[in-house]
Every structure is written in C-alpha cells, then in structure tokens.
C-alpha cells in the first residue's frame, strides 16, 4: 500500500489522493486500507517514516563504507543522499519528509526538519566527533532548512535537479557550517 501511495502522490499529488484510489492501485479492498490506516494522512505519515528511515539507513551505510577526511565530506554525503532520494525514490520528491502534509507529521512536538537535523547531529557526533549540544543543533537546524529550500528550488527548476542550484546549495551549507562546526568539533 505504501508503494501504491508513493506512486499516486507523484502522479496526482497529495490533495487528490484518496483511500479509494489507493486501494484500487494497491489491488486491495478498501477495508484492507482502513484496517491499517484510518485516513490518507496516516498513510502518508507511514510513507514519510519509511522515507526517513531509508534516508538514515542510506547515510549510515555510506558512513560505514567510507572514511571521511573532513566533516564537510559528511555533510556533502548527507546532501547527496537527499538529492538521490529526490531522483530515485517514488513519492519522495512530492512528500519529502512530510512537510507538504504537515510540518509536524513525524512528531507532534518537533517539526520534521528538526528531526532530520537531530538525526544528522547524532551522525556527526557518532561518526565525526562533533561536540553535541545546542550550538550544533542550532547550526544543523539552519543548514537543514536552507538545504531543503534550495533543493526544492533545484527540482522545481529542473526535474532532475538544476545542477547549478544544487552546487550552490552545497557551497552555501558548507560555508555556513564551516563557521559553526569548526568551533564545536572536539
């Protein structure tokens, strides 16, 4: 059902998505949809959680397979995976991490990008040795918001992501974080 949901949101958008269309696309009875999901928001939330888990898994795998020399290589890898998901994962370009539906889709207390920033902070602390704390969280929060907005712009300008905008997004984030991460790394 989640795969069918991803295909449909790419084709018709979130607003046009219905549980009936989802059931038809998934080849299941409408009762089966309601057995697992009370409404389309819950379906999209489950898809968003799957996307988040997939993103974090991709980053973790990349971190495990690669020896990074500098912290900015870690940031570039995180951005590259986000861009890759925009290009390759059905539904991701439309839903991202659920902000199209609700900025608090992943957690009622924290907005979706804050959760992403917290996960990235954990990865930087665990895999690079950055000092955890409010300064790192704040800097990564700003970087995630800026990166998210610029990557969305790149994909609005070009279905494959405008290369010039994507390059500028990476440069902007790297330069911004350079001022902060260097002062809070161990």
Q: Domains of the chain (ranges plus CATH)? A: 2-184 (1.10.357.10)
DSSP 76: H
Lowest mean per-residue pLDDT among 39-43, 111-115, 146-150, 166-170 = 111-115
Residue 45 has pLDDT above 70, yes or no: yes
What is the reported pTM? Answer: 0.81
Residue 61 has pLDDT above 50, yes or no: yes
Of 112, 86, 115, 110, residue with least CA distance to 101: 112
Instruction: Please state the rounded mean pLDDT for residues 60-67.
Output: 82
User: Cα–Cα distance between 180 and 185 in angstroms, integer?
Assistant: 9
133-181 pLDDT per residue, tens: 888 889 999 999 999 899 999 999 999 999 999 999 999 999 998 887 6
Asked whether 128 and 139 are in contact (CB, 8 A), the reply is no
pLDDT category at 186 given cuts 50, 70, 90 is very low
Mean pLDDT, the chain, whole residue set: 86
* Distance from chain centroid for Cα 157: 19
């Amino acid at each position: 059902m989640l795969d069918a949901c991803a295909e449909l949101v790419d084709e018709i958008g979130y607003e046009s998505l219905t549980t009936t269309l989802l059931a038809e696309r998934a080849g299941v009875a409408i009762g089966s949809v309601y057995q697992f999901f009370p409404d389309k928001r819950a379906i999209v939330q489950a898809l968003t959680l799957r996307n988040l888990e997939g993103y974090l898994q991709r980053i973790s795998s990349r971190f495990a397979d690669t020896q990074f020399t500098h912290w900015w290589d870690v940031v570039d890898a995180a951005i590259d995976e986000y861009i890759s998901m925009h290009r390759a994962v059905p539904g991701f370009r439309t839903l991202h991490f659920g902000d199209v539906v609700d900025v608090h889709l992943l957690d009622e207390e924290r907005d979706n990008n804050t959760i992403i920033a917290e996960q990235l902070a954990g990865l930087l602390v665990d895999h690079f040795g950055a000092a955890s704390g409010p300064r790192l969280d704040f800097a990564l929060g700003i970087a995630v918001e800026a990166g998210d907005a610029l990557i969305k712009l790149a994909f609005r300008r070009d279905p494959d992501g405008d290369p010039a905008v994507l390059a500028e997004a990476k440069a902007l984030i790297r330069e911004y974080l350079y001022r902060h991460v260097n002062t809070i790394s161990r």
